[in-house]
Structure 1
Amino acid sequence: MNGRYVSHDTFTIKKIYDATPATVYAAWADRKAKTRWFQKPIEFDFQVGGRETNRGESPEGSVYTFDARYLQIIHEQRIVYAYTMDLEDIRISVSLATVEFKPTGDSTQLIFTEQGAFLDGYDTSAIREQGTNTLLNNLGEELRRK
């Protein structure tokens, strides 16, 4: 036994933002806007087949790399992308993420669903969901500043 294994899981996070779907969508689609709430991208090509890559450092000094490919983009309605997450030079997960933008009166319901393969115990669905929740809260703060 080499200690390698995969844990599969899915989580969904729903948020209501006091902004139109166009405004919430733009926060994902525009490089400058996304940098304010997500992470400054190394590469950002927001189109089907395009790539987004960024790196971040944990408080302990570990470097994480997010590398995504956009698979479907329906303007102001849905974004689907596949991405890998690496810790230093170790692949820790592979995921499919879907972001939906639903109008609810004068607000937007964002529905984020991630289907992940978490590799060899380096990451878990619970940790990823917590991190994604933090990012989506950052998005809410960014939208309130507007």
Structure 2
Amino acid sequence: MKKPEHLFAMVRTIDASPEAVYAAWTQPEIMRRWFATVVEADVRVGGRYRIENHETDGTVNVHAGEYLVLEPGRRIVMTFQHVGATPNTDYFDEFVSVTLRPLPSGMTELTLENGWDGLGPGDDGLEALKQGWGEWLDLLAAVL
């Protein structure tokens, strides 16, 4: 996979094993607890997923993508495309990479990289993207 034109990364320490964190990213019943309201996932390389987030204001954000790399307990790489929202908004194609590193304490260092090519979200959109991933990772940590 080529390096994207634009990339940002976030690193978090999660109080759970890499295997538990990996499961939270790949098992729909756990994903629903932190990632999305509705989750459909065919978790295999080349498999597709679709998630919906139902916001309190009635907005429904839909994301979908394909699993590119699945290394249990170590790494997940997937495309991440905004495929719709109400009200409708223009979006761009992205990829997301999640790398898990075990820590001696039994915890996991999670590195999330979000990248894209071409025009992206602009400065305000980039801050919103970082805020959104930060909120999702906070929910992940709370669930685990």
Q: Which TM class, normalised by the smaller chain length?
A: 0.7 to 0.9
* Residues 103-114 of structure 1 aligned to structure 2 (within 5 Å): 103-105=102-104, 106-114=106-114
RMSD: 2.0
Please report the TM-score for the alignment, with normalisation by the length of structure 2: 0.83
**Residue ranges of structure 1 left out of the alignment (5+ in a row):** 1-7
Structure 1 pair 59–93 and aligned structure 2 pair: CA distance change class (3 A)? farther
CA distance in 2, matches of 1:70, 1:29: 10
Aligned to 2:101: 102
**Which consecutive residues of structure 2, in runs of 5 or more, have no partner in the other structure?**
none
1:134-145, aligned counterparts within 5 Å? Answer: 134-143=135-144
Alignment of 1:31-110 (within 5 A): 31-85=28-82, 86-88=84-86, 89-105=88-104, 106-110=106-110
Tell me which moved more, 94-103 or 40-49: 40-49
| Identity across matched positions, percent | 27
Give the total of aligned pairs: 135
Distance 1:28 1:120 in 2: 24
User: What pairs up with 1:124-143 in 2 under 5 angstroms?
Assistant: 124-143=125-144
Would the alpha carbon gap of residues 120 and 26 (structure 1) be closer, same or farther in structure 2, given more than 3 Å must change? Answer: closer
Greater radius of gyration (CA): 1
Separation in structure 2 between the aligned mates of residue 39 and residue 120 of structure 1, nearest angstrom = 21
Task: Normalising by structure 1, report the TM-score.
Answer: 0.82
Alpha-carbon distance in structure 1 between the residues aligned to 2:90 and 2:70? 26
Alignment check: 8 A CA contact 1:91 1:119 kept: no
Shift of 1:41: 3.2
Alignment check: 8 A CA contact 2:37 2:54 kept: no
What SS does the corresponding residue of 1:124 show, helix, strand or coil?
helix
CA shift at 1:57, angstroms?
A: 3.5
Q: Partner residue of 1:3?
A: none
Measured after TM superposition, the shift of residue 83 of structure 1 is 1.6
Aligned-pair distance for 1:19? 1.1
Q: Which deviations, in whole Å up to 9, do the C-alpha atoms of 1:11-67 show, x marking residues without a partner?
A: 111000111111111111111011101113342111111111122244443332101
